[in-house]
Amino acid sequence: MRIDDFLVAPAEAGILPKNSDEQYELSFWDSIKNSNYAGDYEAYLKQYPNGKFAALAKSRLDRIRAAGPSAAPSAPAAKPEPKAEAKPAPAPTPPPAARSAPPSAPSPSTPPAASNQPRSRAGGAISQGTVTMANEGKETPPPAATKPGEARGGESRDCPQCPVMVTIRPGSFTMGSSTSDPAERPPHHVVVNKPFAIGKFEVTIEQWNACADANVCPRIATNNADMKNAPVRDISWDDAQQYVGWLSKTTGKPYRLPTEAEWEYAARGGTSSAFWWGDKMSKGNANCKDCGDPWSDAAPANVGSFTANPFGLHDMNGSVWEWVADCWHSSYKGAPVDGRAWEEPACTSRVIRGGSWREGASYMVSSTRFKYSTSVRQSQNGFRVARDAN
């Protein structure tokens, strides 16, 4: 009898509250349990040295190491999706054709109106927040929300190897969800009172390797250098800090990770719906297993392969999970309402946002959030950069 026979899958055991420590461990394990990459099991053991799957992780790690370099690594399985009474139903519209390279100037499109509220990952209806721009002076309920693209400024690039940045103007929105995971509550009004710039795309392998070539960032073996336009992944929060530090020194400008509030404001793109494109899953808008072609469970598509949101930002939903600056808190109770990062002394657990290409539709909603330890590398985690606007 194998050790696997004594383990109960999360789906069979029943889903625990999303923000419980045991659920985080189960989610982590489920995301790597089919991996043939040693680094994923090393990451689990670093995060949970005495975890319930530690013995199995060590056994699989020993097996992979014994097989030597000839054993081809494979991408891990997706994080488990909590059971829900219903999920957003795919729309019948066909996905657009994939592009081989990131587009230079996407044309924002108005998100479609939806007639039905989707169900959240916890089984409840997605909350319908409100979004306004700072210059409007008052909050307006949906559907008369901010016009798509209204808060978007121009694009810039500070060096040839730097990410393309999109300037986002100040504004306000309702952050979180009232009926989804407890970690997304309470929904609260946030005023982003300063303009900021954020990456049009996630940081790519080519951009990351420029930092590695400068002997500042670690070279990550799982990122194939030939896949220049793929999002870099297997990146820890600490790794991302090395990159933004190098980018700041290279350009003379203060690059950083976006705050969690900035990230959600940018991801929503001036909308208040469950997804930036509306309240129902519509294929062709994100890189996930329910989102249409191009899709492969082995690796994410190149950045920019899917439609940009109304702010001109690609892959805010799906592709890879994205690190943000904030320390993890299990709810938004007491969260800042001015767009700044929510910090704590000696914080060791940080927030990731947006889901990945291996998750389904329920993880694509704009309010989705999760956490990892700052030093853990996981093969679905990447990031995009931000800085204060000039």
Q: Are residues 157 and 54 in the same domain?
A: no
Residue-wise pLDDT for 22-35, tens only, equals 777 777 777 777 77
pLDDT of the residue at 104: 37
Residue-wise pLDDT for 237-247, tens only, equals 999 999 999 99
Domain end position, chosen among 47, 67, 87: 67
Q: Are residues 62 and 141 in the same domain?
A: no
Q: How many CB atoms lie within 10 A of CB 221?
A: 11
pLDDT classification of 126: cutoffs 50, 70, 90: very low
Range 202-209 average pLDDT: 98
CA distance 46 to 42: 6
Q: How many domains are contained in the chain?
A: 2
Q: How many CB atoms lie within 10 A of CB 91?
A: 17
Q: Are residues 165 and 292 in the same domain?
A: yes
CA distance 390 to 377: 32
> Is 116 part of a structural domain of the chain?
no
For residue 372, what are the domain limits? 131-388
Give yes or no for residue 147 having a pLDDT over 70: no
CA distance 384 to 382: 7
Helix (H, G, I), strand (E, B) or coil at 53: coil
Q: Are residues 62 and 146 in the same domain?
A: no
Range 84-97 average pLDDT: 33
pLDDT classification of 38: cutoffs 50, 70, 90: confident
pLDDT of the residue at 11: 33
Q: Are 79 and 31 a contacting pair, CB within 8 Å?
A: yes
Higher local confidence (pLDDT), 188 or 23? 188
CA distance 189 to 172: 7
> Is 101 part of a structural domain of the chain?
no
Q: Are residues 153 and 266 in the same domain?
A: yes
Angle at Cα 301 formed by Cα 108 and Cα 161, nearest 5°?
75
Of residues 141, 106, 156, 126, the one with CA closest to residue 314: 106
> Is 39 part of a structural domain of the chain?
yes
CA distance 228 to 217: 16
Q: Are 54 and 48 a contacting pair, CB within 8 Å?
A: yes
Give yes or no for residue 220 having a pLDDT over 90: yes
For the chain, the average pLDDT equals 78
Q: What is the largest CA-CA distance in the chain?
A: 67
CA distance 270 to 359: 24
Give yes or no for residue 109 having a pLDDT over 70: no
**The domain spanning residue 239 has which CATH number?**
3.90.1580.10
